[in-house]
A and B are shown apart, each in its own frame.
Chain A
Amino acid sequence: MKKLLGITLGIMTALGGFVDLGQIVFTSQAGALFGYELLWAIVIGTIAIIVYMEMCGRVAVVAQEPVFAIVRTHMGNKFGLAVLIASNLLNLITCAAEIGGVAVILHLLTGWPEKALMVCGCIAIASMIYLSRFQWIERVFGLSGLLMIVFALSAVYLHPDWSAVGRGLWPVFLQPDSRHALLYAYFSVGIFSAMLMEYEVHFYSTGAIEEDWKPKDLGENFMVASLGSILGSALTVGLMILGAVLFLPRHIFPELLSTTIVAGALPFATKGLVIALFGALACIGGAAIETALSGAYNVCQFYNFEWGKNRPAKDVPIFTVVWVGMFLLALIIALTGIRPLQLVNISIIFGMVVMPFTYYPILRAAADKKLMGKHVNTTFDTIIGAGFLILITAAAIAAIPLMVLTNSGQP
């Protein structure tokens, strides 16, 4: 049973990372514009995140070094600090967007004023983090996030064209015109980026240490990373199929979270709607927690401050101040009225730019024989990891020009 519950770390990491506010809307938009043609980006993103989650989990367990300690060691203090600031800025923007998303879902459930719900939701999540042990946070949000399965069921229920789904596993290089080609590239990069958001590996590697994994648990590490990611990926595929089946024929380009929720619940009426809302609440709330905690973990790990969610707050004062501060700042940003989806678009593309600087040190550390001993990368692991790093770097270079050229993916 304990082993089974251990999977919740992978589930929460993947759901909070893959199926957060941005991904819910972004993937539906991709389906609405290109049907199934971008499914390959989800598959590649899933393999890449499994490879890197396994690597950073292994490094965390064997060397007892979470991601940001590795970043500092391999990139030096100066550059490492720049990466730390960029990553935490990204965490802050994403956290603000997720808090906005939580308020939208609560508003759709209760009808109460959105700003009040933003404050109440934020206080409720922060209190839960303060009062619960790490394992309980991941279990509650990981398991309740499974309610999002209603989106995948809806997708299957609506009878997608499975042969077209199969064809979507291969990129389509020829688009009708340059505008479509640019949009196709923008959404490919965006989907890939959203699946590899840095906070996932920060949260996962730290979670392995929080849960006191030992080298004998490394088999589980691969299982947790794979199962969580495959589940998150299946839900993401479901969202894209919904976009293709429901939105594409009606010329809908969904720009509202509530429209995507309607799609997720369409075949199952009111009950499906309520389940979809609670599932989305768990995933978006989980993403808010991942980003706020990742911010605190990053700072403490980079500077060697004491940290740990399972330790009393007075023993880890800086850790506590930073994650509470992240929530406060994110709440202030959300309260200014900036639309959450606008923030999310920025975080997805900016995240892509910072990504190589997070993933490169992980690959270096995992391939370091001195550090990893007998658990060092095999040649195959390193080749696969390097291949994905090249893809990540190429996407990072293309991200901002594509964002400008497509006006953030507007059709």
Chain B
Amino acid sequence: MASAIWKNTEGCVLRILPQTKYFLILPLCLLVVSCSKPKTISQQELRSDLLSATSLASESELFMAQLQENRTTKIFAKAHIHYLHEEATRDASTLHQVRTNKEIAEPLRICREQLLALASVLADLEQSDSDTRMIPDALQRTTRIKLTLEQAETKL
């Protein structure tokens, strides 16, 4: 129980009631729920991860096409590629910490590997300062990654 130190215009002392703690706890629980990731993932969760990885590859493809046609600023390109790279690396590292049953171990391995491959493509592009000469190759590699991920998802 805590009481506030101020008085209002009517001179009433303010108190914070103990029941209010539930309203404080609820968003914290939500935060924990949304941040936590199970250590063993199910087939459905792996499918969701594969879809998310495919989406990231597709996002990268879409942006590389824009970059190729000089339809973006240099600063934006560097920053956006960095965000995509960060996302791919984070997802790959999350998948490295999970386990799954034997039947779906192979798609999990593919997902990890392809995310790392995508992170590598994006890192190369970031380092080259989005050099347009690098883009056709990066685009090709990204398309391959996307196809591999899509195949892994359909086999699941």
Q: Which residues of A line the B interface, CB within 8 A?
A: 78, 81-82, 85-86, 89-90, 93, 107-111, 179, 246, 250-256, 258-259, 262, 266, 269-270, 273-274, 277, 303-306, 318, 342, 345-346, 349-350, 353, 400, 403-404, 407-408, 410-411
Contacts and interface: CB of A to CB of B under 8 A. Distances in A.
B153 to A, nearest CB: 10
Interface stretch (B53-61, B117-125, B134-142): B53-61
A179 B44 contact: yes
B8 A90 contact: no
B3 interface: no
Contact of A411 (B14, B51, B58): B51
Contacts of A305: 6, 8-9
Given A318-B6, A410-B48, A256 B75 contact: no
A269 B67 CA distance: 10
Nearest to A259: B59
A400 B19 contact: no
Interface in B76-115: 76, 78-80, 83-84, 87
B58 A252 contact: yes
Main secondary structure of the interface of A (DSSP, over half): helix
A252 B55 contact: yes
Interface of B: 6, 8-10, 12, 14, 16-17, 19-20, 22-24, 26-27, 30-31, 33-35, 44-45, 48, 51-52, 54-55, 58-59, 61-63, 66, 69-73, 75-76, 78-80, 83-84, 87
Main secondary structure of the interface of B (DSSP, over half): helix
Contacts of B80: 108, 256, 258-259, 262
Nearest to B26: A350
A258 B63 CA distance: 10
Contacts of B83: 256, 258
Contacts of B75: 108-111
Given A252-B58, A253-B55, A342-B35, A400 B76 contact: no
